[in-house]
Chains A and B, each alone.
Chain A
């Protein structure tokens, strides 16, 4: 099958590659760009571990072809904050013990990021609904909800 040329802006940097049409965005990010912070969980658009932002919306990158993202802008966990300056969500997950094994965390944080873009002051119910597409098998979710509330508060205060 012919390769297709794609151009994407990922975490503020521009990339152009020739890819197979069947290459999934999550594999492109991990294997070609080397951004392994985006995890592969179920590969069936259920678990949410592969969640990234595409053109300002949270998506499951296991169910988007790289060619569908051509011309688009991607934000992954690596682009959200830096080790010396964590994003309020990353800080919230740290402070509130929002992770144990950490496998779901990058996707959970990007889904939470989407939630706070649309609902800067979410209720607990809105947080649980906003994270409905992300599974965590360690925490029982309560600490994750606390972490998102922490981040929402911090982001509102810094405005």
Chain B
């Protein structure tokens, strides 16, 4: 399968890339690792006339800690996140999530920014970013702005990025105190994409859950933060019956996807079960 013809440019700076986007409008697409875009182009689900290849812009890659925040360049590959000692120590939910994306070859090429900006409803990384309360830096012709992960995902493959904006950086908090994290998913057998995936980080003080973030992917047309579940868990001792009662709230106000891989009813069931398991696993890792 060969994509329809297109032109390809490799800007050396972000400004050059933004100018190319602004002048070509909807005919241009950004190319990062290409592991979402190229398969779509082969199937003619996308037919851009111009690919703006970001791979030669050095400032877009890398992982750096600064006080209580970690900055991740949008072009950082899933493998770099999976194997980052810094992230394993300071924000382990990200490596835990990256390591179950696709397979080795896909993780070597696929990028965190590409995954977030593509906003596939079954992608893994959005769940983790929502759970830790990540912030995303968008740069466009008018300058830069930070977006909360919760405000970033608008719908099926739709984000808050403007037509000439580029997601350049992700900022996540250093998870401090007594905490535990987990990402659990039901993968679709052939592709590894999440039928349902749940990411959790929680903080425990004196055996009580004082803070919790729950990100859910695969269930609805867009990944979301399960605020109802979080509110039910906060302040509890994470007892199994409480976890199960809270997790049953994950489908409230949600329209579960329904496709050949799982019916809406089955997806909702999986979401409730996997939310409970992910919270319990995170609690176990926090020593509860």
Chain B residues 3 to 37 lying within 8 A of chain A, measured CB to CB, are 3-8, 10, 31, 34-35
A-B residue pair count with CB separations less than 8 angstroms: 80
Inter-chain CA distance A23–B5, complex, in Å, is 9
Give the interface segment out of B103-111, B170-178, B227-235.
Answer: B103-111
- A74 on the interface (CB 8 Å rule)? no
- A111 on the interface (CB 8 Å rule)? yes
Interface centre among B34, B53, B108 (most CB of A within 10 A): B108
Contact A63 B34 (CB under 8 A): yes
Assess A133 versus B38: contact at CB under 8 Å? Given A1-B5, A2-B7.
no
Please tell me the number of chain B residues within 8 Å of chain A, measured between CB atoms.
28
Contact B39 A63 (CB under 8 A): yes
Contact A22 B2 (CB under 8 A): yes
- B260 on the interface (CB 8 Å rule)? no
Contact A21 B105 (CB under 8 A): no
- A46 on the interface (CB 8 Å rule)? yes
Contact A58 B104 (CB under 8 A): yes
Inter-chain CA distance A102–B55, complex, in Å, is 34
Contact A65 B34 (CB under 8 A): yes
For this complex, into which size category does the number of interface residues on chain A fall?
20 to 34
Inter-chain CA distance A56–B106, complex, in Å, is 14
Inter-chain CA distance A130–B99, complex, in Å, is 11
The contact of B103 among A27, A64, A132, by CB within 8 Å, is A132
Chain A residues with CB under 8 Å of chain B are 1-2, 4, 20-24, 27, 43-46, 48, 51, 57-60, 63-65, 67-68, 70, 111, 114-115, 129-130, 132-134
Chain B residues with CB under 8 Å of chain A are 1-8, 10, 31, 34-35, 38-39, 42, 51, 53, 55, 79, 102-106, 108-109, 190-191
